[in-house]
Amino acid sequence: LWCSGIGVRDTKLVRIALGANPPQTCKAEVYVPPPDKMPLPGSGGVAIDSNGLVWQNWRGAHQMLSFDRRKCKVLNGPNATGQHCPEGWTVYTKPGPTFQGGPDYSSTDMLYMTEIDRDNTLGLGKDVVLSGDVNADSFFVVMPQGGRMATLTLRVP
């Protein structure tokens, strides 16, 4: 089970393992993106693809992050500090305008909710990641097989 807060300062991604007798046996692992990969604070929706890759959009920024726990060298113990797995994070930045005079990550658009097309319904490939653009008639799409990104525009009469 993966979860994340959606508040302004929420930057943590949490994995919960239930154990044999939950909630007494539950264990939590906390992961935080490294500072060089962390966009504007405010995590959004979480979705997991069929390979176990965790995807998360960031509100206020135009970035989608993926997290691959299989790349982590440390999973628990005293060295599991939250930022103990920088190698697990990948950042995908949505092209587009930013606020004049603002930092590069300040987008004029905001990504909202994250969905996975596990069954290739769109014809773009299995496990394509979609996030809705709040201020546009489009979806930001990440195709993890090749690391490509695209914008799907939804035309409504």
* Number of domains observed in the structure of the chain: 1
Reported as a single tens digit per residue, the pLDDT across 123-151 is 999 999 999 888 788 889 999 888 899 98
Reported as a single tens digit per residue, the pLDDT across 94-131 is 877 777 776 666 667 778 888 999 999 999 999 999 99
- pTM of the predicted structure, to 2 decimals: 0.86
Domain that holds residue 129: 2-153
Whether 25 and 35 have beta carbons less than 8 Å apart is answered as: no
Whether 72 and 89 have beta carbons less than 8 Å apart is answered as: no
